[in-house]
Structure 1
Amino acid sequence: MFTIEHDFDATVITLIDEGHEGLMEDITILAFDDCVTLEQIDPMTEEPARITLSMAQLRDLAAALDLPEGSYRIETRPPKG
């Protein structure tokens, strides 16, 4: 399950783990114009763990989900015209 909210400066997506044993803490994704931040509460410390991805890293992650093992570089090309 997930929720989507549009705030003033970010889109907030919350991923909720449900339906099985060994549930993980919710993950909150904050999408800004220039980066995306993932947050999850560490159950041991009750503190949030944060990871911030640039838009290029996010693009690479999305591409990597559909590729086989290997090393890749995504080249961006200027628009034609």
Structure 2
Amino acid sequence: MGEIIGEFIFYVLLNYIGGTTRWIFGSIWRSLFNKPKYTYKEYIYGPQEPDFYDSAHTFINGAIAVVFVIILVVIFT
């Protein structure tokens, strides 16, 4: 049961928190500099045409989510 909860927290919850954070900042950044935008789905599940460097998007989303949560905890405590 603990493994299921751990997988849910890391692979689902942190993936969505990190992907949403990346999508918000990426959309703003790409709008400011007139670069092509990615869809929200691509930030969560990876690009439609992945290359070698895009294969770790779940880990990156999780890492960004952990940093985001730590920042929120520091701000609100």
Tell me the TM-score normalized by structure 2.
0.26
Q: Using CA pairs below 8 Å that are at least 6 residues apart, which structure has the higher relative contact order?
A: 2
Q: Which has the higher strand share?
A: 1
Write 1 or 2 for the structure with the bigger share of helix.
2
Computing the radius of gyration from Cα coordinates, the structure with the larger value is 1
Q: TM-score when scaled to structure 1? A: 0.25
